[in-house]
A and B are shown apart, each in its own frame.
Chain A
Amino acid sequence: MKLAGLMTTSALALTMMTPQAFAEVTFGALFPFSGQLALLGEESARGLEIAVDEMNAAGGVQGEQIVLERGDAVDNNQAIGEARRLISLSGVKAIFGSYSSARSIAASQVAELAGIPFFELGAVADEVTSRDFKYLFRTNPTADHMGKLIVEMIVEKVAPGLGKAPGDLKIGIIHEDSSYGTSVAGHQERYGKEAGLNIVTTMPYPAATVDMSSMVLDLQSRGVDVVLQTSYQNDSVLFLQQASEAGYKPSAIIGGGGGYSMLPTAEAVGNDVIEGVLDADFTQYAVNTDFTPGLESFVETYRTKYGMEPRSGHSLNNYVGALAILKAIDAAEGLKPDQIVAAVSAIDIPQGQTAAGYGVQFGEGNQNQRASMMGMQWQDGTLVTVYPPEAAAAEMRFAQ
């Protein structure tokens, strides 16, 4: 009796504590806010926060103000636990996340089972949208887009710039051997073959390597003209340094995200070594803003809200994805999962009309099929967008 009484009281207390729908709707923000991935997890979440602020200032969604409830996905297990908490305790109508592919894959399973929409704004692994989930949508470009963009860039820009036919260039692919590097390299090979590129070698290596000199010698002795590397930070630095020290100067080096986009990498290897190095990644800030309407006001809002410059392109890409989704939810018939899914499935934003440049329309596996990456180049110590031409802030340079 006592126990039953206690339970009734607590249940009553819980009901009273739950915020009534006084024109407020709660969404989950599931990112790694602590631990090793915290820096870019937090940076990603800021994009979502700015999108929410913008929606709230314009009246919220369906007349209700948006409240974000944070969940800290510090590791895969906690991502699952936090997703459960957000859904069952906080009663969120949808979850936004999550920067890390592994966290996303784990947490979205919980949401799918509970029938709560999960919007992925930043994780790149193919597996996120290859599971045919009903309630999962991804707005950002993926490993596939990275491979595709790099091949397109070689065919349309790099080869002509070097005065050669694309098929005459010897391409060497090196990549760290976890699922990230392996899947990007797989897409590079596939798209490369379709485009008739001559890929002479593909070399995986463990990311925690301390010496790449034999790999450099191998590339050098094969006469590789264009090196494609998919890597984290340490191995990006190691390859660029050891190639330069061995006197190996390929006509072009094209990195994939990760280490290649970060300023500390440039500082580590020195401006003279990184000058001219190309890189495929999410949209960054040195871009032709005619193609990315809203980018400048995003940066301005970011500065006002956080008192600093955006630390990477993650916030921008999360902002763009979140804004597209929230606008669709605003136009939905209600806040039930199926109503949200119906509204989001109908999104149709063409290229060049978001702050990241890419459009939004969901296709197979609920992946944004209009998402794309951009090609960047290190020029005079900064990373500027050079591809595609409509987004380029500068011309691609070639070492003579």
Chain B
Amino acid sequence: MNIFLQLVANGLMLGGLFAIISIGLTLIFGIVKVVNFAHGEFLMAGMYLTWIITVGLGLHPYVTVLAVAPFLFVLGAMTQRFLIQPLLLARDDHVQIFATVGLSTALINLALLIFGADIANTPASGLRAPVQIGPVRILEGQVYIFIAAVLLVIGLQLFLSRTQTGRAIRAVAQNRAAAQLMGINVDRIYVLSFGIGAACVGLAASLVAPLYPVSSTIGTYFVLTAFVVVVLGGLGSIVGAFVGAMIIGLIDSMAGFYIGSDLREAVVFGVFLVILILKPSGLFGTRVSLSHIS
């Protein structure tokens, strides 16, 4: 029984980790309708920045979010403005996808050039300390990630439903042309949304860095799962990403123990496929039009 509870706890913590990384991805996808393959590399950039500030200035890793999130916001906004936006006019939407693939490879190699192939370690600042809750043991840092993911979901929902800008963002997401006719500056909303999505990754980076050493390829470790989570939850659905992350985390943890470490990915992706077959738009998804013309 204790092992089962520990597996559930591990699964939820893993889910929190996947959730915090996936939320920005689903946000960008839902609004800008661009599948951002450089998402993992945004995370990597944020983690390196966290590492630099933490080691250089001796600050607590969580404090660095004040610099990392704005930095990622700018990086995201610039990606939209200077890379995606010129390509929005391309006849084929796939052009943007390959642009982000290119950006991903460029960022990995840039990091390799600057930081080398070795891992860089953000000081854990006590966040790796295990906490005993009843029969289960989890890490302090994992708990904070989980809480942050919940707060981020609530915060973004409030922002999108209660503020003028949020409503404008949703309007653009629903129908770009109609939103433009209503006087919304669509290009600006796209830049803003991409920036916000990237800033969410910045938050994730500062929280994840003390638990995982960063290397140039760290993004690739997370990004495939992030895509699975986002598709499972329903493209563009923030709550869906959270629930999807929890499901994937729990399956991963259970399958790793009861079925075997070599088969756990087979189980995760098997369940993923079954859910998609039963509910093609994902758990919380509505049919979205991928076209920018809409």
Contacts and interface: CB of A to CB of B under 8 A. Distances in A.
B41 to A, nearest CB: 15
Given A39-B117, A221-B3, A268-B121, A214 B262 contact: no
Interface residues of A, number: 34
Contact of B253 (A206, A208, A209, A211): A211
Nearest to A204: B262
Given A38-B117, A214-B253, A217-B6, A245 B262 contact: no
B116 A217 contact: no
The 6 A-B residue pairs with the shortest CB-CB distance in the complex, in nearest-first order: A214-B256, A214-B257, A213-B10, A204-B262, A205-B261, A203-B261
Interface stretch (A104-112, A233-241, A294-302): A233-241
A218 B261 contact: yes
Contacts, number: 89
Nearest to A241: B128
B17 A210 contact: yes
B92 interface: no
A64 interface: no
23 contacts: A36-B117, A39-B118, A174-B261, A203-B260, A204-B261, A208-B221, A210-B17, A210-B221, A211-B10, A211-B14, A211-B256, A213-B10, A214-B253, A214-B261, A214-B264, A217-B6, A221-B3, A234-B218, A241-B128, A245-B128, A245-B130, A246-B137, A268-B121
Contacts of B261: 174, 203-205, 212, 214-215, 218
Contacts of A333: none
Contacts of A209: 221
Given A211-B256, A214-B10, A264-B121, 11 more contacts: A37-B117, A210-B14, A210-B225, A211-B252, A212-B261, A214-B253, A215-B257, A218-B256, A246-B130, A246-B137, A247-B137
A177 interface: yes
Given A206-B265, A214-B256, A218-B257, A264 B221 contact: no
A267 interface: yes
Contact of B119 (A174, A218, A234): A234
Contacts of A264: 118-119, 121, 213
Main secondary structure of the interface of B (DSSP, over half): helix
Contact of A245 (B137, B215, B217, B264): B137
Contacts of B3: 217, 221
A215 B264 CA distance: 11
Interface string A213-229: 11101100100000000
